């Protein structure tokens, strides 16, 4: 604004929170407070480089952690989620979703001063979840490089990677399904399980093209694996039905655009089944997988397309 002050933007509809932050900022030299009443209002007037965002976890509308993930890589500012004092998992979830950290309600001058102590020059944008390198079917191998030498251990790769597609294999998918389901349940975050496949058989070249499409359509945090000869299983952390549907539709469209076909020359018809946790009928990982598989079978019997069970 030309006065040399940087801005702490409080995204909240809670007047008491705004009042506590305003009072606390008086002890911080070089800062001022600006009230942003909603996430939509923040989208209309994006934060400037060097701003600090305080996102109220009580704010209605989209989940505040999903909003953090949406901001990841798009802003050059620090973000803190304002949470209740008794939420022991809030900081871990906030950082997992791209926030700098959390502040407990009500915000005190000492807590704000401590949080702001590391805020100097504007930070570089957080790394976007979108893949920023040209995707290849062998991309998951980078996960198994030795941290010191950078070399990939071949035996480890063979143990968890499907040789034809370069995606995770069936055995490793079972391990990851258990791990991701436990994480989603513990942190009360959504988890999408997507089963995708096609009728007939396809060449190895087509399978690798299809795997590349999967990688182009996914994020670094997604788990992509081959389930059997002509079907695949995806685990999409922190993703609800809308996000899973978007990915599924994108995969189908890209496969059609590239003219992928089976061994007899017929176009690949992609069928997709989606299940989302949390759901009243999904109590364990087997329920999540079973629901996705049932939706997949329904989509395949209907001649292709996407079926979302929730």
CATH number, domain at 208?
A: 3.30.70.270
- Weakly modelled stretches of the chain, pLDDT under 70: 1-4, 60-62, 69, 72-76, 86-89, 92-93, 96-97, 117-158, 310
Q: Which string of b and e fits 212-233 if b means at least 16 CB within 10 Å?
A: bbbbebbbeebbbbbbeebbbb
105-132 exposure pattern, b = at least 16 Cβ within 10 A, e = fewer? bbbeeebbeebbeebeeeeeebeebeee
213 and 301 in a single domain? The answer is: yes
For residue 275, give the nearest of 307, 231, 230 by alpha carbon.
Answer: 307
**Could you say which of 55, 85, 116 is where a domain stops?**
116
Asked if 184 and 61 sit in the same domain, the reply is no
For residues 107 and 168, membership in a common domain is answered with no
Residue 132 resides in a domain? no
Q: Are residues 158 and 33 in the same domain?
A: no
C-alpha–C-alpha distance, residues 104 and 126, integer Å = 23
Cβ neighbours, 10 Å, residue 255: 22
* Confidence (pLDDT) at 13: 87
- Which of the listed residues 81, 116, 151 is the one where a domain comes to its end? 116
Tell me, yes or no, whether 129 lies in a domain: no
As a whole number of angstroms, the distance between CA 143 and CA 137 comes to 13
- Is 156 in the same domain as 286? yes
pLDDT digits (tens, 9 = 90+) for 60-73: 655 777 777 677 65
Which pLDDT score, from 0 to 100, does residue 62 have?
56
CATH of the domain at 88: 3.40.50.2300
In a domain, 1, yes or no: no
Q: Please report the pLDDT score of residue 59 as a whole number.
A: 73
124 inside domain: no
Q: Residue 87's pLDDT is what?
A: 64
Enumerate residues 6+ apart whose C-beta is below 8 A from 214. 167, 224, 232, 234, 251
Question: Looking at the domain assignment, is residue 173 inside a domain?
Answer: yes
pTM of the entire predicted model: 0.54
Q: Which of 69, 77, 22 is nearest to 52 (CA)?
A: 77
User: Does 282 lie in the same domain as 148?
Assistant: yes
172 and 35 assigned to the same domain? no
On whether both 23 and 86 belong to a single domain, the answer is: yes
Indicate whether 49 and 193 sit together in one domain: no
Residue where one domain finishes, among candidates 70, 101, 116: 116
Furthest CA-CA distance within the chain: 73
49 lies in the same domain as 105: yes
Contact 271, 305 (CB under 8 A): yes
Same domain assignment for residues 214 and 278? yes
Q: What total of structural domains would you count in the chain?
A: 2
Segments forming the whole domain that contains residue 38:
6-116
To which residue do tokens 């620090």 refer?
78
Q: What is the dihedral of CA 293, 65, 242, 247, to 10 degrees?
A: -70
Q: Kindly state whether residue 281 falls inside one of the protein's structural domains.
A: yes
166 vs 198: CA distance, rounded Å: 18
One domain for residues 104 and 162: no
Q: Look up tokens 């929170």; give the residue.
A: 17
């Amino acid at each position: 604004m030309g006065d040399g002050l940087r801005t702490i933007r409080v995204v909240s509809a809670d007047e008491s929170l705004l009042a506590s932050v305003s009072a606390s900022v008086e002890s911080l030299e070089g800062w001022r407070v600006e009230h942003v009443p909603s996430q939509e209002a923040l989208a209309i007037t994006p934060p400037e480089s060097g701003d600090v965002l305080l996102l109220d976890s009580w704010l209605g509308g989209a989940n505040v952690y999903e909003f953090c993930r949406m901001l990841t890589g798009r802003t050059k500012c620090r973000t803190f989620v304002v949470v209740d004092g008794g939420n022991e998992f809030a900081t871990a979830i906030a950082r997992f979703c791209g926030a700098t950290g959390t502040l407990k309600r009500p915000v005190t001058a000492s807590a704000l001063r401590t949080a702001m102590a590391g805020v100097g020059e504007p930070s570089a944008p957080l790394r976007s979840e979108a893949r920023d390198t040209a995707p290849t079917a062998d991309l998951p191998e980078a996960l198994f490089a030795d941290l010191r030498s950078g070399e990939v251990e071949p035996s480890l790769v063979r143990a968890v990677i499907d040789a034809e597609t370069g995606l995770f294999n069936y055995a490793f998918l079972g391990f990851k399904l258990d791990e991701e389901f436990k994480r989603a349940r513990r942190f009360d975050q959504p988890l999408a399980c997507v089963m995708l496949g096609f009728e007939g058989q396809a060449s190895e070249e087509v399978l690798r093209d299809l795997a590349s499409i999967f990688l182009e359509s996914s994020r670094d945090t997604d788990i992509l694996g081959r389930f059997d000869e002509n079907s695949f299983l995806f685990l999409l952390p922190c993703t609800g039905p809308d996000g899973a549907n978007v990915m599924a539709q994108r995969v189908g469209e890209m496969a059609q655009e590239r003219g992928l076909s089976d061994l007899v020359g017929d176009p690949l018809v992609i069928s997709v089944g989606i299940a989302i946790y949390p759901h009243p009928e999904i109590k364990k990982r087997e329920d999540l997988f079973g629901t996705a598989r049932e939706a997949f079978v329904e989509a395949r019997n209907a001649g292709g397309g996407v079926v979302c069970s929730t």
